Amino acid sequence: MATQHSRAAARLMISPAVLLLLGWMLIPLGMTIYFSLLRYNLLMPGNNPYVGWENYKYFLTDPAFSAAIFNTLALVGGVLLITVVGGILLGLLLDQPMWGQGIVRILVIAPFFVMPTVSALVWKNMFMNPVNGLFAYLAQFLGLEPFDFLAQAPLMSIIGIVSWQWLPFATLILLTAMQSLDREQLEAAEMDGAGPFNRFFYIVLPHLARAVTVVVLIQTIFLLSVFAEILVTTNGGPGNASTNLTYLVYAESLLRFDVGTGSAGGVVAIVLANIVAIFLMRMIGKNLEA
């Protein structure tokens, strides 16, 4: 039973965390919004005059912006499609009885623990390199022309690399959800004459709905901010072909030192992420009540 005394103590115990997170959220956020309204470039020291919406106008009408929005959506959508469909299929397979299931699980999960810079560089050099990469050897072996993945299909290549990193996450969560499915329900359906397809679409898939939603929403949060993979493979190029919103804001801020435009881009990124976040919070909020 909570007493007056213990309530006060509880508040005291929670407050450091709350204050730190509040500071972490509000101070930089306020500064970003403030900077976004100034003409502020680190290469041109001056008095940083207030310019209203100018930075936003510049950022939003820059052709690089529409390219970045398209690339961001393609990256998020492409990776989600591959990892969710792949994760369901792989989960179904791993849920079957087999020999060495534990070891296969370990193999499948491994890419998730590889740091982004390592996985991007390993794929870039040792697989996708048009001269020395394994794919080039494979093409040669099959009598095909080697393909310069990161130059000719940069976005698709990055989608491939990022999917490799996230497929384990989707698989692991969907497999966990599948294992909580009541076996007797499936057996009863089987005895009633439901075929494998019907069992999948009417029993397994509805059971997975919640896990799929969680996978989609959590991955979306992370995928909107993909950065290291782009930095070490293509630097956003060629041109803007693989620049996403995160990379564009980084380039404005820390490569072109345009604090004002970079901040305006940061605000745009926050707005975009918030639209996604609203859905995620609703989902997890429901779980808290359950």
Partner 1 sequence: MARKVTTQRMALNTVLAWAIGLLIFFPILWTILTSFKTEAQAIADPPIFLGFNWTLENYVEVQERSNYFRHFWNSVVISLGSTLLGLVIAVPAAWAMAFVPGKRTKDVLMWMLSTKMLPPVGVLVPIYLMFKSLGLLDTQLGLVIVLTLINLPIIIWMLYTYFREIPGEILEAARMDGATLKGEVVHVLLPMAVPGMASTVLLNIILAWNEAFWTLNLTAAKAAPLTAFIASYSSPEGLFYAKLSAASTMAIAPILIMGWFSQKQLVRGLTFGAVK
The nearer residue to partner 1, 30 or 239, going by C-beta atoms, is: 30
Taking CB under 8 A as the criterion, which residues in 213-242 touch partner 1? 214, 218, 221, 224-225, 227-228, 231-233
Q: Is 205 in the site for partner 1 (CB under 8 A)?
A: no
Least separation in angstroms between CB 11 and partner 1: 8
Q: Is 203 in the site for partner 1 (CB under 8 A)?
A: no
Q: Is 177 in the site for partner 1 (CB under 8 A)?
A: yes
Long-range contacts of 275-278, Cβ-Cβ distance < 8 Å, separation of 24 or more:
276/217, 276/220, 276/221, 276/224, 277/221
Q: Is 178 in the site for partner 1 (CB under 8 A)?
A: no
For residue 238, whether the previous peptide bond is cis, meaning omega lies within 30 degrees of 0, is: yes
Of 55-63, 75-83, 142-150, 167-175: span binding partner 1 (CB under 8 A): 167-175
Rounded Cα distance, 168 and 138, in Å: 25
Rounded Cα distance, 146 and 128, in Å: 9
Of 43-51, 142-150, 193-201, 249-257: span binding partner 1 (CB under 8 A): 249-257
Q: Which residues of 214-232 are buried (b: 16+ CB within 10 A; e: fewer)?
A: bbbbbbbeebbebeebbbe
If phi > 0 it is left, if psi is from -120 to 50 it is alpha, else beta; for residue 143 that is: left
Of 45-53, 149-157, 197-205, 262-270: span binding partner 1 (CB under 8 A): 262-270
Taking CB under 8 A as the criterion, which residues in 7-26 touch partner 1? 7, 9-11, 13-14, 16-18, 20-21, 24-25
Among 64, 67, 80, 167, binds partner 1 (CB under 8 A): 167
Least separation in angstroms between CB 52 and partner 1: 18
Taking CB under 8 A as the criterion, which residues in 79-108 touch partner 1? 90, 93-94, 96-101, 103-108
| Residue at token pair 């369901």 | 88
Least separation in angstroms between CB 85 and partner 1: 14
Among 78, 87, 91, 262, binds partner 1 (CB under 8 A): 262
The nearer residue to partner 1, 78 or 168, going by C-beta atoms, is: 168
For residue 97, whether the previous peptide bond is cis, meaning omega lies within 30 degrees of 0, is: no
Q: Are 276 and 224 in contact (CB under 8 A)?
A: yes
The site string for partner 1 over 114-153 (x = CB under 8 A, - otherwise) reads xxxxxx-xxxxxxx----x-x--x---x------------
Q: Are 229 and 222 in contact (CB under 8 A)?
A: no
Taking CB under 8 A as the criterion, which residues in 24-63 touch partner 1? 24-25, 27-29, 31-32, 35
Rounded Cα distance, 274 and 1, in Å: 38
- Residues 6+ away with beta carbon under 8 Å from 12: none
Taking CB under 8 A as the criterion, which residues in 270-289 touch partner 1? 270, 272-274, 276-277, 280-281, 283-285, 287-288
Rounded Cα distance, 68 and 87, in Å: 27
Rounded Cα distance, 34 and 38, in Å: 7
Q: Are 119 and 165 in contact (CB under 8 A)?
A: yes
